[in-house]
């Protein structure tokens, strides 16, 4: 009997705590005070154009300070709209937590190339081909120079930028991309005093694979400073110029 009574008392206590917790958690939003404000940037890559300080300054400039306010008085949509006005923020998802905090999950733009056109135009291009204004925090993006219009960068150069970013070998090797007056691609590598010519930005993977094979099999024997140009424009061949 005693064991049965103890079990009943423990079960009643557990049920009582559960009811209390449910009542507390399910308390109407308009009766809760914001206990804090947090945000996270989902992409921590070194080429991200924003960081936590930039976001904190942006919120301060727009007087976003929810802590201490009633949750019912905090406009989550307005916070999202303010943040996404920044050209380097792709999306901002704002929400409440059960403890009364207001949180924002920020997805930044993902730039892959930093363009300095010969006509003085400067901008970034992201993985979707979007043109982003110059600025933001310091990045280590691949530099593009020469005869580069915004249309050329967002269409013809996009596949090259993605390939270089995704390929660990060429990501380390590529220092600069130059576009000559005919729209042909030239790569200035970090290693060796030479220029790699790819011609039109087509069949990029096949061309760079040929150049890499020559780098690994041919240049160590010939010497890194023997050639000034390596031309992979034409299919199934490499043309070297001293």
C-alpha dihedral sign at 16, 21, 22, 28: positive
Q: Under a CB-based contact definition with an 8 Å cutoff, are residues 214 and 230 in contact?
A: yes
What is the separation, in whole angstroms, between the first and last Cα of the chain? Answer: 100
The string of pLDDT tens digits covering residues 6-15 is 556 556 555 6
The string of pLDDT tens digits covering residues 94-125 is 999 988 999 999 999 999 999 999 999 999 99
Tell me which of 238 and 10 has the higher pLDDT. 238
Q: Which residues pair with 116 in a beta bridge?
A: 122, 145
Q: Taking residues 199-217, report their average pLDDT.
A: 92
Considering the chain, what is the average pLDDT of its residues? 86
DSSP string for 77-91: HHHHHHHHTSTTEEE
Query: Which domains, ranges and CATH numbers included, belong to the chain?
Result: 29-108 (3.10.20), 111-241 (3.40.50.11690)
Q: 167 phi and psi, to 5 degrees?
A: -90, 115
DSSP string for 112-134: EEEEEETTS-EEEEETT--EEES
Q: Where are the beta strands (DSSP E) in the chain?
A: 36-41, 89-96, 101-108, 111-117, 122-126, 131-133, 142-146, 174-179, 185-189, 195-199, 229-231, 239-241
Unique residue bearing structure tokens 């709209």: 81
Q: Which two tokens stand for residue 4?
A: 């049965």
Res. 47: pLDDT tops 80? no
């Amino acid at each position: 009997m005693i064991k049965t009574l103890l079990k009943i008392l423990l079960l009643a206590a557990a049920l009582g705590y559960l009811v209390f917790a449910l009542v507390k958690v399910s308390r109407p939003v308009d009766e809760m005070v914001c206990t804090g404000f947090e945000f996270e940037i989902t992409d921590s890559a070194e080429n991200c154009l924003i960081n936590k300080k930039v976001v904190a300054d942006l919120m301060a400039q727009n007087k976003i300070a929810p802590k201490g306010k009633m949750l019912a008085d905090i406009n989550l949509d307005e916070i999202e709209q303010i943040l996404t006005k920044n050209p380097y923020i792709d999306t901002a998802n704002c929400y409440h937590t059960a403890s009364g905090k207001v949180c924002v999950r920020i997805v930044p733009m993902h730039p892959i190339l930093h363009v300095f056109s010969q006509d003085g135009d400067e901008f970034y291009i992201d993985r979707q081909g979007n043109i982003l204004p110059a600025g933001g925090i310091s990045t280590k993006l691949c530099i593009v120079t020469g005869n580069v219009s915004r249309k050329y960068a967002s269409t013809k150069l996009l596949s090259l930028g993605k390939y270089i970013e995704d390929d660990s070998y060429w990501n380390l090797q590529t220092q600069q991309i130059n576009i000559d007056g005919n729209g042909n691609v030239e790569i200035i590598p970090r290693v060796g005093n030479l220029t790699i010519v790819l011609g039109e930005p087509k069949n990029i993977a096949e061309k760079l694979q040929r150049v890499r094979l020559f780098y690994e099999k041919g240049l160590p024997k010939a010497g890194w400073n023997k050639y000034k140009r390596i031309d992979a424009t034409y299919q199934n061949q490499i043309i070297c110029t001293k």
